[in-house]
Amino acid sequence: MINAALRAFALLSLAAAPASASVAATSPVVPAPLDTVVFGGGCFWGVQAVFQHVNGVVSATSGYAGGKVAKPSYEDVSTGTTGHAEVVRVVFDPSKVSYDKLLEVFFTVAHDPTQLNRQGPDHGTQYRSAIFFRTEAQKAATQSYVEKLSKSGAYKGPIVTQVAPLTAFYVAESYHQDYATLHPDDGYIKYNDAPKVAALKQNYASLWTDKLAAH
């Protein structure tokens, strides 16, 4: 659940955003190109479940990134020796949801960015907080957002999120895709991940969609 300080920060960020220029009624409708970013926030089950319910997200895919081992398996990554983190590749439509709004969801709902190399009950570098950007614009937006969030005092501890370029993304095994949705009665899901999805629906009603994004 996001606290009052985080909500205030979100509102300030929204107020500071420039208004979009109006488009003439005669302008042709051109579909906005899709964009991609990769988030690491602990176990990918919950992170995927959160972003699959964000309107404007086309797909959210569990996988691995950040390491140097090619085509790692879940067993490989779980050793903590590959350098990879459990991540979710989010493909989104910028005309429906902004990159900054995805950052807001990531930092306030999907995970706790102050936990170093762990998230909840899961420990190890493979569960680190991380954002793997694709473009210099994403890098700048991410660094700016983290700086503002750090100065806001929303968290008692420092933000430890790794911000690094995306060099490779490896899709996780099929049994990890849609795991939270397919196993709602799993104890881990009920305790760790269902509350995140509920928080998204309660605190970001304007972003919520019942239609699950693809994986």
Residue 4: inside a domain, yes or no?
no
Question: Residue 19: what pLDDT?
Answer: 46
At 104 the three-state DSSP class reads helix
215 annotated active-site? no
Catalytic-role residue among 2, 6, 43, 65? 43
Is the separation of the CB atoms in 136 and 142 below 8 Å? no
User: What is the C-alpha separation between 67 and 73, in angstroms, rounded?
Assistant: 12
Residue 168: inside a domain, yes or no?
yes
Question: Residue 23: what pLDDT?
Answer: 47
Residue 195: inside a domain, yes or no?
yes
Distance set, CA 110 to CA 29, 31, 39, 106 (Å): 33, 28, 10, 5
Whole-model pTM: value is 0.86
Distance set, CA 100 to CA 17, 146, 154, 157, 195 (Å): 10, 11, 17, 22, 22
Question: Residue 14: what pLDDT?
Answer: 43
Burial class of 1 by CB neighbour count within 10 A (0 to 12, 13 to 18, 19+): exposed
Amino acid in position 90: V
Residue 16: inside a domain, yes or no?
no
Residue numbers of the domain that contains 138 = 32-203
Residue 119: inside a domain, yes or no?
yes
Residue 197: inside a domain, yes or no?
yes
Is the separation of the CB atoms in 149 and 9 below 8 Å? yes
Question: Residue 28: what pLDDT?
Answer: 67
Question: Residue 11: what pLDDT?
Answer: 44
Q: Is the pLDDT confidence value at 167 over 70?
A: yes
Q: What is the CATH number of the domain that holds 65?
A: 3.30.1060.10
pLDDT band at residue 29 under the 50/70/90 scheme: low
Residue 158: inside a domain, yes or no?
yes
pLDDT digits (tens, 9 = 90+) for 46-93: 999 999 999 999 999 999 999 999 999 999 999 999 999 999 999 999
Biggest distance spanned by C-alpha atoms of the chain: 57
Question: Residue 26: what pLDDT?
Answer: 56
Question: Residue 63: what pLDDT?
Answer: 98
Q: Would you say the C-alpha torsion 105, 108, 112, 114 has a positive or negative sign?
A: positive
Residue 80: inside a domain, yes or no?
yes
Q: Which two tokens stand for residue 158?
A: 């420092």
Contacts of 82 (CB under 8 A, 6+ apart): 64, 67, 68, 69, 72, 76, 126
Closest to 214 in 3D by CA, of 79, 91, 44: 91
pLDDT digits (tens, 9 = 90+) for 169-190: 999 999 999 999 999 999 999 9
Averaged pLDDT, 186-203:
98
In the chain, the number of structural domains is 1
41, β-bridge pairs: 129
pLDDT band at residue 15 under the 50/70/90 scheme: very low
pLDDT band at residue 151 under the 50/70/90 scheme: very high
Q: Is the pLDDT confidence value at 192 over 90?
A: yes
- The rounded Cα 93 to chain-centroid distance in angstroms is 15
Averaged pLDDT, 127-145:
97
Closest to 36 in 3D by CA, of 60, 53, 66, 54: 60
